[in-house]
Structure 1
Amino acid sequence: MTATRNRNSRQARGKPRKQPRRKVKQVSIFDKILRAMPVTEAQVQKGLTWGLVAVFILGAYSVAHYSGINERIKTEVAEAVGKAGFEVKRVEVTGVNRIDELKVYEITLAQKDRSMLLVDIDEVREDLMANGWIKDARISRRLPDTLVVDIIEREPVAVWQNQGQLSLIDKTGYPLEQISKEEMPDLPVIVGKKANLKFTQLDALLDVAPALRPMVTGATWIGNRRWDLEFDSGETLALPEGEETASAALLNFARMDGVNRLLGRGVVHFDLRDAERAYLRMPPKPAPAEPDSDGPEI
């Protein structure tokens, strides 16, 4: 029995002892991403915390906005400011030349709320821009009680005649206001349907012949395709179609007039529509006077 126990103990000593298995710690993808980022885990957690706070604040603001709380607070603050003396009492207008300054005052002071904070600057500007003479308007607040209105007016450069109606237009062709024949200013007259929309083209055309520009008193837009120019000496110049072709023809006419003095020589009409030759029309000759039947006999 003793021998058997000793043999078993020797066998146990000769057999290697089994080591317990270690558990391998699994690393999640999120942990790998955090380790790859150039920030610490504490910084990431701090950023997430502030992000949640920001979302909460934004949500609270949205709720207040859609429930009308913000507007009520804004209105009450603005009314308090107005009662404290910050109420619109004066309007300063600059840049007005042709339009009625009183009309600008009326539009500016038409706001329901006179508190400096409640005056809708954009709405005032929109109402002013409805006036055809106003090209631009800038409105600003000057505390404690003044609105400053800076007006940029449109400049009339021609009279547009269409279907018997006369209108002043600016250099873009924008109609400013209708006028009567008695109110006609000393400006060129352009005639024709939609001729006002072609005024920028006419202006560029006259730039090629600056010596002739002061002599041009009017222009007629013919068939929605070409111009007839009228001069202060009574002649009419028919130009061809196309901007480049018309410019070349006008430049050639200006050169000929500079050499031979074509204008003021009794010609009624110059026709340059043909690229090969120019045509002239002279005034009709007066009919010979008939002898007086009741005159004395010779």
Structure 2
Amino acid sequence: MPAALRGGSRTQAKPRVKAPASSPKSRAQQSRGGVYTPGKLGTAQGVGLSPHHALLAAGGVLAVALIATLATGHRGERAGADISARIDKMFASLGFRARAVHVEGASALAMPDILQAAGVYKDQPLLGMDLEAMRKRVEQVGWVKQARIVRLLPDTLVVAVVEHNQLAVWQHSGKSLVVDDHGRVIPEADAGRFPGLPLVVGEGANEHAPEILPAIAQRPRLKDRLEALVRVDDRRWDLRMKDGSLVQLPAVGEQEALMQLDQLDQRTRILELGFERIDLRDPDMVAVRPRDGALPGQLVAGGA
């Protein structure tokens, strides 16, 4: 090769030194600026369109579709819907499609009903989902008090729920239903799968159960022996015990009546000894009807 002449001097051209070939990993780090890009997002880059630019392009197309809708009426609406569907399909092809649904805050029994209400199917375009409509559907499920739906791009949907507390099993008109801590029925709940919940019986028992059950729960000796709370004429409660005994509470002042029952049990251990009936409907007198004669040292009012 002829020598290069510069400024009248003759210099020898130096051979070029080839830079060492960079590894695929280092090239990837340089092109991504050190930020980790999930595989699905990398697919979008591989076709020459970054996810960020793709989203901006989608926004521009949707803006054009909105202008067309306002200008042309229903024909524009149909055109806009068609454009939106095509955009959803395009992003789905780039990896923005549902591959996983995570349900948070739900019990195992509630999970199937929540997933069915969400109505998400595999590979559904993630960006085209109506999250507000989905949230409303999920909150229609009896288990659910509150729901929140979040998209995690590129392929995950999170359904976060707060469940109603299951309070009792309500037996009424030949049916057994699970009610929450506000007395509302949870229609999807199978009462047979909640043997540990207290049983309330009768018209209006579901509505008034939240008022009395916390007081019962504070009295373990009474709670352990209780079979059911029976609502009488939707005015007051009868407590039916597992041994067949009956405690009659008043229509007004049931908390005070339960305190009287506590005092009686402390003196006589009556919950252990057994009785036929304890009538607490009169605030001035506790009437006890024992099974086999009067309890020693206990005043019994006749006719109870």
Work out whether the TM-score is over 0.5: yes
Q: Which of the numbers 270, 274, 281 marks the counterpart of 2:278?
A: 270
Task: Please list the CA deviations of residues 81-112 of structure 1 after superposition, one character each: whole Å capped at 9, or x if unmatched.
Answer: 33332122222223332326455444434479
Q: CA deviation at 1:187?
A: 2.5
When structure 1 is superposed on structure 2, of 227-236 and 273-282 the one drifting more is 227-236
Task: Please list the CA deviations of residues 46-73 of structure 1 after superposition, one character each: whole Å capped at 9, or x if unmatched.
Answer: xxxxxxxxxxxxxx79945965376666
Verify the 8 A CA contact 1:235 1:263 in the aligned structure 2: no
Verify the 8 A CA contact 1:137 1:150 in the aligned structure 2: yes
Q: Which of the numbers 248, 258, 268 marks the counterpart of 1:260?
A: 268
Who is 2:235 aligned against? 225
When structure 1 is superposed on structure 2, of 269-278 and 128-137 the one drifting more is 128-137
Aligned positions of 1:181-200 closer than 5 A? 185-200=195-210
Verify the 8 A CA contact 1:208 1:250 in the aligned structure 2: no
Gaps of 5+ in 2: 1-66, 294-304
Moved over 6 A (4+): none
Who is 1:147 aligned against? 157
Q: CA deviation at 1:264?
A: 2.5
Task: Please list the CA deviations of residues 13-47 of structure 1 after superposition, one character each: whole Å capped at 9, or x if unmatched.
Answer: xxxxxxxxxxxxxxxxxxxxxxxxxxxxxxxxxxx
Who is 1:7 aligned against? none
Distance 2:194 2:112 in 1: 25
Q: CA deviation at 1:270?
A: 0.3
Residue 259 of structure 2 aligns to which amino acid in structure 1?
L
Distance 1:246 1:264 in 2: 22
Who is 1:27 aligned against? none
Verify the 8 A CA contact 1:187 1:217 in the aligned structure 2: no
Verify the 8 A CA contact 1:238 1:271 in the aligned structure 2: yes
Aligned positions of 1:60-209 closer than 5 A? 63-64=70-71, 68=77, 74-99=84-109, 101-110=111-120, 114-177=124-187, 179=190, 185-206=195-216, 209=219
Q: CA deviation at 1:135?
A: 2.9
Distance 2:281 2:215 in 1: 15
Verify the 8 A CA contact 1:81 1:115 in the aligned structure 2: yes
Verify the 8 A CA contact 1:111 1:120 in the aligned structure 2: no
Q: 1:65 to 1:191 in 2, by over 3 A?
A: farther
TM-score by length of 1: 0.63
When structure 1 is superposed on structure 2, of 204-213 and 275-284 the one drifting more is 204-213
SS of the residue corresponding to residue 264 of structure 1 reads helix
The RMSD of aligned alpha carbons is 3.3
Q: CA deviation at 1:144?
A: 0.5
Q: CA deviation at 1:248?
A: 0.9
Task: Please list the CA deviations of residues 164-196 of structure 1 after superposition, one character each: whole Å capped at 9, or x if unmatched.
Answer: 211122222222246476x56132110001211
Distance 1:117 1:65 in 2: 26
Q: CA deviation at 1:272?
A: 0.9
Distance 1:65 1:166 in 2: 56
Q: CA deviation at 1:124?
A: 1.8
Distance 2:279 2:140 in 1: 43
TM-score by length of 2: 0.62
Q: 1:147 to 1:257 in 2, by over 3 A?
A: same
Q: CA deviation at 1:118?
A: 1.1
Q: CA deviation at 1:162?
A: 0.6
Residue 230 of structure 1 aligns to which amino acid in structure 2?
R
Distance 2:222 2:81 in 1: 63
Q: Which of the numbers 246, 262, 280 marks the counterpart of 2:254?
A: 246
Q: 1:215 to 1:132 in 2, by over 3 A?
A: same
Structure (1 or 2) with the larger CA radius of gyration: 1
